[in-house]
């Protein structure tokens, strides 16, 4: 019998892994896929869907990540005690795919959004070459609490919104959905050639929204596209929304108030927030001030 996430102690869900860059591949204007391997991945257990993990990226021009501790009881305090200029950068990413090769090795794909050197993750990914190693906290059991997409029994339609930061998670979800699942997805990307070919056996209708700008008006443009879409009737739709926090809230409100989706059947996650740096968001998370993702939270 397979244990469920609630039956496995939280500390057993995740552990440290050393990831070695095997190869990279450009997917579009904004996307780069980095394929990782390494002996420690033999114990990696992705739960699929929108499985997340935390990467620790080296600072400056360092080739590999060095952490002061990987002990489950002391790592966080030790990592936080490292001076800002020397502390490896922690970022959350989605497992795009995990697979086993014919030789029995485990490989993991992670898709990065490239926007020059304006963020540590983009800077690192743009310079990633085979042999470089980073550290990660990832899943050691497949039924873990970092898989947010949980398709309820009886769902008769899936409605999705993602911007480029959440597109890898959305693509992994589409690939894993049961054959014939009715899906309508709105995917917002910054460039025309970011409209990727996405493998799925679901019955998926995808609307690509190519963003004209990154200012406050972007949310209204997304809502205009979604409101203008006539959707087939569904008795029990499931919503999955991820991307910029303000747009995520607006799309969630639309689904619940205008499309009459049960709020408990809408999973929403703010991956970033307009006007806030990644360091600010991390500080809020450390302080316990991160926005609620509870389905009963205020719209």
- Residue 11: band (very low, low, confident or very high) from pLDDT cuts 50, 70, 90: low
pLDDT(10) > 60: no
Give residue-wise pLDDT tens across range 99-125: 999 999 999 999 999 998 888 999 999
Domain ranges within the chain, ordered by starting residue? 5-139, 157-286
Give residue-wise pLDDT tens across range 56-71: 999 988 999 999 999 9
Residue with tokens 């607006």: 250
> Alpha-carbon distance 82 to 157, whole Å?
47
Mean pLDDT for the stretch of residues 173-188: 98
Helix (H, G, I), strand (E, B) or coil at 58: coil
> Alpha-carbon distance 3 to 185, whole Å?
32
- Residue 267 phi/psi, 5-degree rounding, is -100, 125
pLDDT(213) > 50: yes
Angle subtended at Cα 254 by Cα 246 and Cα 200, rounded to the nearest 5 degrees: 90
Q: Mean of the per-residue pLDDT values for the chain?
A: 91
- Residue 4: band (very low, low, confident or very high) from pLDDT cuts 50, 70, 90: very low
User: Considering only the top CATH level, what class is 157-286?
Assistant: alpha beta
Q: Which residue has the higher pLDDT, 10 or 180?
A: 180
Give residue-wise pLDDT tens across range 26-64: 999 999 999 999 999 999 999 999 999 999 999 988 999
> Alpha-carbon distance 217 to 188, whole Å?
13
Q: What's the confidence (pLDDT) of residue 8? A: 40
Give residue-wise pLDDT tens across range 222-265: 999 999 999 999 999 999 999 999 999 999 999 999 999 999 99
Q: What is the CATH number of domain 5-139?
A: 2.40.30.10
> Alpha-carbon distance 131 to 64, whole Å?
9
Cβ pair 24, 98 in contact under 8 A? no
Give residue-wise pLDDT tens across range 135-159: 999 999 999 999 999 999 999 999 9
pTM confidence score: 0.91
Q: Which residues, at least 6 apart from 17, have a Cβ–Cβ distance to it below 8 Å? A: 38, 40, 41, 43, 44, 135, 136, 137, 138
Cα 250–chain centre separation:
19
């Amino acid at each position: 019998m397979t244990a469920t996430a609630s039956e496995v102690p939280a500390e057993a869900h995740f552990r440290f892994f050393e990831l070695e860059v095997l190869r990279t591949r450009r997917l579009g204007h904004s996307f780069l896929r980095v394929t990782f391997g390494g002996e420690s991945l033999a114990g990696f257990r992705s739960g699929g869907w929108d499985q997340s993990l935390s990467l620790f990226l080296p600072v400056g021009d360092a080739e590999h990540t060095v952490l002061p501790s990987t002990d489950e009881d002391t790592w966080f305090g030790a990592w936080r005690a490292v001076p800002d200029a020397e502390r490896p950068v922690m970022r959350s990413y989605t497992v795009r795919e995990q697979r086993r090769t014919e030789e029995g090795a485990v490989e993991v794909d992670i898709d990065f959004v490239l926007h020059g050197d304006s963020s540590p993750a983009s800077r690192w990914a743009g310079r990633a070459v085979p042999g470089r190693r980073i550290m990660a906290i990832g899943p050691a059991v497949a039924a873990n609490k970092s898989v947010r997409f949980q398709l309820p029994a009886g769902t008769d339609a899936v409605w999705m919104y993602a911007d480029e930061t959440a597109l890898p998670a959305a693509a992994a979800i589409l690939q894993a959905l049961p054959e014939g699942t009715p899906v309508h997805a709105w995917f917002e990307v910054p460039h025309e050639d970011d409209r990727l070919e996405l493998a799925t056996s679901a019955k998926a209708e995808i609307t690509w929204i190519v963003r004209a700008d990154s200012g406050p008006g972007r949310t209204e443009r997304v809502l205009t596209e979604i409101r203008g879409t006539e959707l087939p009737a569904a008795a029990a739709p499931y919503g999955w929304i991820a991307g910029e926090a303000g747009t995520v809230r607006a799309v969630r409100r639309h689904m619940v108030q205008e499309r009459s989706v049960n709020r408990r059947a809408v999973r929403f996650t703010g991956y970033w927030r307009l006007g806030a740096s990644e360091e600010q968001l991390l500080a809020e998370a450390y302080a316990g001030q991160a926005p609620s993702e509870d389905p009963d939270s205020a719209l």
